[in-house]
Amino acid sequence: MQSRQIILASASPRRKELLEVMGLAFRIIPSRREEVIRGTSPGEIVENLSFQKAEDVISQTDEDVIVIGCDTIVVCGSRIMGKPHTEAEAYEMINGLQGRTHEVYTGVTIMSREKDNKITHETFYKKALVTVHSMEKAEIWEYVKMGESMDKAGAYGIQGKFGVFVDEIQGEYQTILGLPIAGLYQALKKYY
């Protein structure tokens, strides 16, 4: 399928692994732009953030490329959770998720610079539901102290030890990991 160079606008090891699973050749140039939250719904927010990342990275090159920008947030009730800044914040986030069902939104922007230097893009988001078993305080602190929470929206990585606390998932698992590959694959076919 691939005939054009792809750039992933993210340093996420999970997104890197998912693109590798898709069999895509790509390079990584993480966006350095400060994120500005825009939108009124979680879907709009992740779409806008993914767009900002793709736009930042495509502006750094004049090549005929496809840039993939992504962003993931966790929503529990009306609270939007990004990445925690401290262990205490990670504990608070997980404590708010345990015993409940929450939503995970991942926005994806595919931005393409064509040979005539015209830039086009497509942006979409996917949503998954995650139900977390009730957790004891000691279990939450033990998980937080592992360090796995600090670079993840909602303060957990479902692919790691936190998976033992997940009761149910509705939706595409890869959305929770940060890159809904089925939707990405279908969208990328338009660019080849």
Give the number of C-alpha atoms closer than 13 A to the C-alpha of residue 4, restricted to the C-beta side: 19
Give the number of C-alpha atoms closer than 13 A to the C-alpha of residue 21, restricted to the C-beta side: 13
Strand 166-170 and strand 101-113: pairing? Answer: unpaired
CA 15 to chain CA mean position, Å? 8
**Which residue, 108, 3, 109, is CA-closest to 58?**
109
Judge whether 124 and 54 are in contact, CB under 8 Å.
no
Which residue in the list 56, 62, 64, 71 is annotated as catalytic? Answer: 71
Q: What is the DSSP string of 17-38?
A: HHHHHTT--EEE----SPP---
Q: Is 71 among the catalytic positions?
A: yes
**Which residue, 50, 58, 42, is CA-closest to 15?**
50
Could you give the CA distance from residue 151 to residue 149 in angstroms, rounded to a whole number?
A: 6
Could you give the CA distance from residue 170 to residue 3 in angstroms, rounded to a whole number?
A: 34
Catalytic residues: 71
